[in-house]
Chains A and B, each alone.
Chain A
Amino acid sequence: MNRRLIFIFSFCILFSAHNASFGMDQIDIHGFISQGFIKSTGNDVLPDSTDGSFEMNELGINFTTQVNPSLRMGAQFFARDYGDYGNDQVNLDWAFADYDYKSWLGIRAGRMKVLSGLYNSSRDIASTRTFIMLPGIYMESFREMFVGMKGVGAHGYLPYGFSYLFSFGAIDNPSNYKDSFLFETLLPLTFAGSAAKMTGLSPSDFTNIRPLSVSWQNSTNIGLFWDTPLSGLRFSATYWAGRAETEMAFEMKGVPLTENVVFEEISARVVSAEYSFLSTTVAVEYMEAPFYAKGQPKRKVESYYTSITHRLNNLVELGVYYSELYPHYDDKDGSEQREGPISHLYWCKDLCYTVRFDISYNWIFKLEGHVLDGAAFVPEVYKEYSKTYSEEGPRHWEIYLAKLSYSF
């Protein structure tokens, strides 16, 4: 994120908030910070997480002001560390102006959060949910694609409990591709596999594969929500799609070359149902995510989960979910061997159990465990695999997490 832009935006908001002669409200400042600890057995989730790692934290602060009864402006700055990703670099998370014409029509412009499923837009804010790690449909490894977009949008509440959101623009992180599992790890791996098949060479003959640039084009985000007449029951359907081009550099038997890779479609369709009754909430979500590069076979990621959370009292909440994630919709057991010999990269079945303690209104502490079968889309496993192209790490493994969060 351009520091000058951050400074200018902050100054504009602070200046406008001081401009009380226009009847403007005072500025609202809120923030959150969390620090996690992760330890896994068998496979690394983050670098050396089998030894335990504290490289798992988030920090955000936002400034919002009501310019007039219809117009709200705000911005949030966000930094995170998640192993090799983020490294506490401050980014503009969202910054937009939102004009409410009527309750059925509001218009916004700027950098906005992407809606995908029930929890994507708030995925970085641990305090808003029970679990530390979200289920497979939220694909942590592809976070940078789903986290925000720059453009314009319309939103509103309709009769009979319906509401909608429509946004159009572009993914706004062209310089962050190094923070990307897709471009930095998965694409070089599949690129080597495809190139090897085309040329008859070995994948290991293609070395130093890396993206030189990534450019995002049109991105669309649509969300439809229905709060049913049955109290606590809601349904939603969300759709996000984008297009990207990347220039890949690589060496074939030591000869430096470049190649353009065009992602014709990268999208995610999620349908969700959530039912809250008394102190219990049950959620079910299903996702299909087609994404493929030009000239490559079409590929579709599939994932689904069901979760149940129950609040025992003001202090303790329990949660459990079971999630399945398949990188290839049509090859769930890895028998077609699209990405090489390792089989348990073709699925990830995750049983998660969590205890959340609301220590006070602002402080939350969580403990969580995961029992996993498979390692689909776990970056560290792919990185190890791409070094040797041989089977690494066990199929069955576990993750343990603890996280302390503060928000105000």
Chain B
Amino acid sequence: METSPLWNNIIMMRVAIKFRSLLIAACIFWYVISIAIASDKIYIIANTSVPVNALSETELRDIYIGKEKKWGPNLKIVPVIMPSEKLHDKFVVKFTRKSSTQFKNWWMRLMFTGEGLFPKTAASEKDLIEKVSETEGAIGYASTEINTDTVKTIMIYDKDEVIKKFEKNKDIGNE
């Protein structure tokens, strides 16, 4: 049975509408995913007085649980946090391997037993960046990369992964 051109046009229009809807849905999906991926990204920032440009994940963890206290003989590490922001929860879970409550309890225990000074607390991301900018030796985290006269972005690497890659390259070289 032959279909009329009008019917064909209607079918084509329906397919086009469906395709457009699919395309719009795909775009929305991609946009949501990219926002989610973007917001998951955590950048480590520091005052430009900090004498390093890269830290291993272990070194960053040691800083944020109070084990590592100095950048060098004359510069104190000043960790800055923003507990009221969601980025804080993501940061502490990813880099200190503690939940935000465990992180808070850990520092309260250090603070109320005289073992350490509680990290500087910021009310928002903007406030955190300002505090890092103003304080020598300060380190913090942000959702975007920042490089200004007073704040720089620190590269974070997984020491184990670097060693594995190095060993792998060494093996290939030997072969």
Contacts and interface: CB of A to CB of B under 8 A. Distances in A.
The prevalent SS among residues of A at the interface is strand
Interface residues of A, number: 40
A127 B108 contact: yes
Contacts of A68: 76
Contacts of B137: 69
Interface in B78-130: 83-84, 97-102, 104-105, 108-109, 111-115, 117-118
Instruction: Identify whether the interface residues of B are mostly helix, strand, loop, or mixed.
Output: loop
A197 interface: no
Interface string B54-82: 00000000100001111001111000000
Residue of B84, B99, B115 ringed by the most chain A CB atoms within 10 A:
B115
Contacts of B117: 28, 64, 66, 72
Interface string A77-114: 00000000000000000101010100100000000110
A331 to B, nearest CB: 36
A94 B69 contact: no
A8 to B, nearest CB: 18
A276 B102 contact: yes
A144 interface: no
Contacts of B84: 361
Nearest to A278: B99
Interface in A64-78: 64, 66, 68-70, 72, 74, 76
Given A66-B76, A103-B69, A128-B108, A317 B114 contact: no
B114 A113 contact: yes
A192 interface: no
Contact of B113 (A94, A163, A276): A94
A96 B115 CA distance: 10
A121 interface: yes
Task: List 3 tightest A-B contacts by C-beta distance, closest first.
Answer: A69-B76, A122-B109, A121-B113
Given A64-B111, A122-B113, A125-B112, 9 more contacts: A62-B112, A72-B117, A100-B69, A125-B109, A127-B108, A128-B108, A128-B112, A163-B67, A361-B83
Interface of B: 62, 67-70, 73-76, 83-84, 97-102, 104-105, 108-109, 111-115, 117-118, 137
Interface of A: 25, 28, 30, 32, 60, 62, 64, 66, 68-70, 72, 74, 76, 94, 96, 98, 100, 103, 112-113, 121-122, 125, 127-129, 157, 163, 231-232, 276, 279, 281, 311, 314, 317, 358, 361, 407
11 contacts: A28-B118, A64-B114, A66-B76, A69-B75, A76-B112, A103-B69, A232-B97, A279-B99, A314-B100, A317-B101, A361-B84
